[in-house]
Structure 1
Amino acid sequence: MPEKGSSSKSRKVQTSGEKASMASTSAPRNSAACGRIASAASTLSSDNQTLIAEIRRATIMMKETAVCFEEDNNSDRVKELEAGVLELVKASDDCSHLSNAIQSIGNEYQPGAELTNFNKLIEDRIERLSAGSSSVSQNHPWLRQFREAVWNVHHAGQPMPGEEQEDIVMTSTDSNLLNITCPLSGKPVTELAEPVRSMDCKHIYEKKPIMQHIRSKNSHGRCPVTGCPKTLQAERVVCDPLLLIEIDELRSMSKQRARADVIEDFTQLS
């Protein structure tokens, strides 16, 4: 019969082996869990971006409708539409905060010993991101563009109440895009065949040149826009749903400015 001491040692060796085996498999499991969460976060964030794009389309339609009402001097309907645009802007901000919170948690999450309360984690992150958002909504570019379009129906070229002349000029010629030419090809973003935007620094590029730039050893993946410190990752440089809408809007604004310049030149000649 085996001695009790040797049996005890055998059980200890077996237990130690089981612990070592568990330790060796925990890292891959954690890595797999992080991967699944990051993938789910990316999908949810993308869905939110699609919703934001739809909200943007709605605000553009409401702006165009408000201009028609203003031409008919129907100020009550214009005010109703402006209130609706403000609500949509707030909804868009909420979607942006949720999208950013989900994406950042997906990128940073590491499983711990206890179960993670993701609801609490997301709520806390959104609370930090949305601090002061009520004042931001009033100055949101979409709302400013709505008000300016309505104002210009009867007061084109004049500053809106409470704004200096340079403010109205800046608003009328500005867009929501961070850069209007590709830093690599030099083409205007309105002429890019495959525009993409960095999810991190928000700069816009032509897809083929920026992917070659990211893969280049000399660039180290650094954003090619002068002064931008961000390092780009190929999977985070994408054509998000809002990008094409904003490019179309910039194209439309450029055409409107061109027509205005022609009218001004004709007026001066006559």
Structure 2
Amino acid sequence: MPSMNRKSNGRRLADSDDEPMNGSDDDRDQQGDITDRILAKVDPEYLNTAIDLRQGDAALRKLIGALGSLRKEVKDVENTLSNVASEMAEMLSDELVDEEYNEDATLERLQAHSTMKELEKDFLATLDRAKEISIKSGTISDMRQRLTQGHQLTNIYQMYEKKVQEPLEKERTKTARQKYMKDCPSYEGYRQIVWENLTSNQAVPSIKRFLPRQDGDEESDDEEIEFGAQTSNFQCPITLGVLEDPYKSTVCPHAFSGAAIKEIIQQEKGSTRCPVAGCSKTITLATIEPDEQLARRVAAHVKRQKEGRTQASTQARTYTRMELSDEDGDDDDEDDAETQAARKIKKEVKKEKAAAAGQ
């Protein structure tokens, strides 16, 4: 076993800490240079000594715990930005959305608004930070697993840097669509709640429209259809009322009121077929989980309803200003649902005006 003077090594590390460090600690390259200078002062025999199993496992668990705490803080920032953006969108509704709703014009104004641009930029930065923490935490977990399996680990810092470098670099070279278009529920929830608050629950445009195409992205008509505009439905398929404490299924794209789906699962002795008509997936307590993003969207929807800012009320105000000729002469069966609704509202408004005039 190589001889080591641990006190000498400690003094050398302490001496290196006294050296001046130019620049910011946030600068990755410079911080890496500083670390390399420190490690260069450590005896190679010390670095290459196998890590003690018990001490090493405890140290790695501590690192994983610290990264977990940091991940929670980043998630809190993510939630705060989402809430601020949705409230800001509500305030900007009259400014950015015409009375006769136009998706293209609304999206263009939203993306050009300086405050909304900055909020989305900051939100995406938190998603990048969360992904970075996840990669680092996963790398340390893998090293800990190898250690507990009896593998001898030496020069642990360089091993960590080597293992984490490739996935981090790969993540940094991805385009926005590659990062956020698929398998990113946080961004999906963000754009949904912002758009719904801005437009009083109009259908959310394709995610591609929020993320400009970059070099490396592929265009596909099939993908455009798959990710087209979607109208939100906040009704629980079990209670038929507004979702309460929503839980989402991890085996199908459906959500339910938490108490209702849990009760059904318990009544069916631990598993049940998805309550949504046409869905054959089996639901258990292990395949449902709380959906915080959906809960925020439901709360915003309920608030809009109380304030009379739902899509139906917006359409109604627009229809009352429409001049509809030949109300009774056309065949209603040939009209679409919106036109029929407009005619009905128009008639009711005229009746109310006539009744008021008669008084």
Using the size of structure 2 for normalisation, the TM-score is 0.41
Q: Residues of 1 paired with 2:248 and 2:79: CA distance? A: 15
1:213 to 1:76, Cα distance in 2 relative to 1, 3 A: closer
2:127 aligns with 93
Contact 1:42–1:106 (CA under 8 A) maintained in structure 2: no
1:198 to 1:260, Cα distance in 2 relative to 1, 3 A: same
1:125 to 1:228, Cα distance in 2 relative to 1, 3 A: farther
- The counterpart of 2:313, out of the listed 250, 256, 259, is 259
Q: Residues of 2 paired with 1:76 and 1:244: CA distance? A: 24
| Structure 2, unaligned runs of 5 or more | 1-51, 99-108, 182-186, 210-223, 320-340, 351-359
Q: Is 1:83 the equivalent of 2:125?
A: no
Q: Is 1:110 the equivalent of 2:110?
A: no
1:268 to 1:80, Cα distance in 2 relative to 1, 3 A: same
The superposition leaves residues 9-58 of structure 1 with CA deviations (integer Å, 9 ceiling, x where unpaired) of xxxxxxxxxxxxxxxx95x8888777666655544433332221111012
2:231 aligns with 173
Amino acid at match of 1:110: Q
Q: Residues of 2 paired with 1:245 and 1:199: CA distance? A: 19
1:191 counterpart SS class? coil
Moved more, 259-268 or 79-88: 259-268
Using the size of structure 1 for normalisation, the TM-score is 0.51
1:57 to 1:233, Cα distance in 2 relative to 1, 3 A: same
Pairing 1:190-269 to 2, within 5 Å after superposition: 190-192=242-244, 194-196=245-247, 204-207=255-258, 209-210=261-262, 213=265, 219=271, 226=279, 233=286, 237-238=289-290, 240=292, 242-252=293-303, 256-260=310-314, 262-263=316-317, 264=319, 265=341, 267-269=345-347
2:177 aligns with 135
Amino acid at match of 1:244: A
- The counterpart of 1:49, out of the listed 56, 75, 82, is 75
Amino acid at match of 1:256: T
Contact 1:45–1:99 (CA under 8 A) maintained in structure 2: yes
1:64 aligns with 90
Q: Residues of 2 paired with 1:189 and 1:131: CA distance? A: 45
Q: Residues of 1 paired with 2:242 and 2:162: CA distance? A: 42
Amino acid at match of 1:79: H
- Percent identity between matched residues is 14
2:29 aligns with none
Greater Rg over alpha carbons, structure: 2
Q: Residues of 2 paired with 1:93 and 1:30: CA distance? A: 30
2:145 counterpart SS class? coil
Q: Residues of 2 paired with 1:62 and 1:68: CA distance? A: 12
1:218 to 1:239, Cα distance in 2 relative to 1, 3 A: closer
**Higher RCO, 1 or 2 (CA under 8 Å, sep at least 6)?**
1
Q: Residues of 1 paired with 2:275 and 2:171: CA distance? A: 28
Higher helix share: 1
Q: Residues of 2 paired with 1:64 and 1:256: CA distance? A: 12
| Structure 1, unaligned runs of 5 or more | 1-24
